Amino acid sequence: MVSHYLVIVGYVLLCTVVWIFLFNWRAARRKKLPVEEKLLRSPGEWLLGKMEQMEERLFFYYLLALGLPAGLLSLLLTGCQYLPAHWLLPGYIFSFGAFFAVLIVVLNGLARKMEEYRNYRLGYLGERLVAEHLDALREYGCRIFHDVPRVEGTYHSNIDHVVVAPFGIYAIETKTFRKNDRRASPDAPPNVVRFDGEKLTLPDWSGTGPIRRARHQAAWLEKALHSQLDFSVRVMPIITFPFWSVDGGVQSSGKLQVCNPGQLRGLIPANRIQEFSVPEFNAVVRELDLLCRDVEL
C-alpha cells in the first residue's frame, strides 16, 4: 500500500515538473517575426493580453487544484502506516481533514481565478461592442483609436477609445457590468444606469469613480497632445455602458456625456467642440497613431 501512495505522489510531482518545464520552454522559444513593423492596438488590447496570460496559467491552476490535495493525502496516509495501532484512527481523521481543508482552499482559489478571467472577458466584449458602434463614425471622416496607452511616470493606464473627428476629439470610457434583476427601488426598471450629474447609480452599485476617471483621461489627453502639437485641443469625456440603457437617454454634466453605445453615432456628431483644419486633423491622427502603434508581431 505504501508503494501505491508513493506512486501517486511521484506522478503528481512528475506532472508538475513537466508542466513547468514545458511552460518555460515555450516562453523561451517564443520568437518575434523577422519584421520591425508594429500594429495599432485593437479594442480591449490590454484585456486581451491579460486573458492570454491567464489561459496559459489556468492549466497550472487546474493541476494544482487536483494534484496538491491528492499529493498531501498520499503523504499523510503513507505516514499513517508507521503509526502505532491506537493512533491510526486519529491519523486517518487528521489526514482526510487536511485533505478536505486544502481541497477547499485550492478550489476557492481556482474559482477566483476563473471569475477574474470571466471579468476580463466581459470587459473585452464590452469594448469590442463599443468599437463596432464607433465604426459607423467613419462616414464623418473620423479616425478611431483603441486602448490608447497613458503613461505618467510609474502610472500606467489606458483610454478605451479615442475618436478624432474633423469637429473634435472624444475620449470614451467603457464600463461593462453584468446585468441582474436587482433594482434600486421596487418601481425602478432593471438594468438601467442613472446619472444625476454627480454620481452614477446602478441597481447594486453607485459611485463617482468612472466620472473622475473619464475626466482625468480627457484632461491628460489634452495635455499630452498639446505638448506634441503647436496648437491646443479640447477633448470631450464620454462614459458608455454596454448592455445597459441610460435613464432618460443621453445625460450630461458639463462636457461629460453618459450614454449607451448605440447612442454614440448620434451623440458625437451632435457635439462639435473644435473645428480642425486638414493639417491640424492629420497632425492629431499622426500623434495618436505613434502612441498606439506598439503591438509587436
For the segment 240-283, what is each residue's pLDDT rounded down to a tens digit? Answer: 999 899 988 899 998 999 999 999 999 999 999 999 999 999 99
pLDDT range class, residue 45, cuts 50, 70, 90:
very high
In a domain, 193, yes or no: yes
Q: Is the pLDDT of residue 94 over 60?
A: yes
Over residues 105-153, the pLDDT tens digits come to 888 888 888 899 999 999 999 999 999 999 999 999 999 999 999 877 7
User: Are 82 and 163 members of one domain?
Assistant: no
**Cβ 238 vs Cβ 172: under 8 Å:** yes
Coil, helix or strand at residue 87: helix
In a domain, 50, yes or no: yes
Query: What domain range includes position 99?
Result: 2-128
User: Are 13 and 39 members of one domain?
Assistant: yes
User: Are 178 and 268 members of one domain?
Assistant: yes
User: Are 145 and 267 members of one domain?
Assistant: yes
In a domain, 290, yes or no: yes
Q: What is the pLDDT of residue 109?
A: 85
Instruction: Name the domain boundary from 128, 154, 182.
Output: 128
**Cβ 240 vs Cβ 175: under 8 Å:** yes
Over residues 124-133, the pLDDT tens digits come to 999 999 999 9
In a domain, 41, yes or no: yes
Instruction: Name the domain boundary from 62, 94, 128.
Output: 128
In a domain, 89, yes or no: yes
In a domain, 222, yes or no: yes
- The candidate with the shortest Cα–Cα distance to 132, out of 262, 244, 39, is 262
In a domain, 134, yes or no: no
Instruction: Give the three cell numbers for residue 208.
Output: 463617482
Instruction: Give the three cell numbers for residue 285.
Output: 491622427
User: Are 173 and 102 members of one domain?
Assistant: no
Instruction: Name the domain boundary from 128, 155, 190.
Output: 128
The structural domain count of the chain equals 2
Q: In this prediction, what percent of the chain has a pLDDT beyond 70?
A: 85
Residue with cell 506512486: 7
Over residues 195-240, the pLDDT tens digits come to 998 999 888 888 999 999 999 999 999 999 999 998 999 999 999 9
User: Are 42 and 102 members of one domain?
Assistant: yes
Query: Within 10 A of 108 (CB to CB), how many other CB atoms are there?
Result: 11
Q: Rounded to whole angstroms, what are the CA distances from 291 to 20, 49, 216?
A: 36, 18, 18
Q: What is the pLDDT of residue 33?
A: 59
CATH number of the domain within which 212 lies: 3.40.1350
Q: What is the pLDDT of residue 84?
A: 85
User: Are 176 and 257 members of one domain?
Assistant: yes
Q: What is the pLDDT of residue 180?
A: 66
Mean pLDDT check: name the lowest of 90-94, 167-171, 220-224.
90-94
Q: Is the pLDDT of residue 89 over 70?
A: yes
User: Are 215 and 287 members of one domain?
Assistant: yes
User: Are 159 and 242 members of one domain?
Assistant: yes
Report how far residue 292's alpha carbon sits from residue 297's, in angstroms, rounded to the nearest whole number: 14
Report how far residue 250's alpha carbon sits from residue 233's, in angstroms, rounded to the nearest whole number: 24
Q: What is the pLDDT of residue 242?
A: 94
Please give the residue that has the higher pLDDT: either 92 or 4: 92
In a domain, 15, yes or no: yes
- The candidate with the shortest Cα–Cα distance to 268, out of 185, 169, 148, 173, is 169
User: Are 109 and 244 members of one domain?
Assistant: no
User: Are 66 and 201 members of one domain?
Assistant: no
User: Are 148 and 107 members of one domain?
Assistant: no
Q: In this prediction, what percent of the chain has a pLDDT beyond 90?
A: 48
Q: What is the pLDDT of residue 26?
A: 61
**Mean pLDDT, all residues of the chain:** 85
Instruction: Give the three cell numbers for residue 206.
Output: 453607485
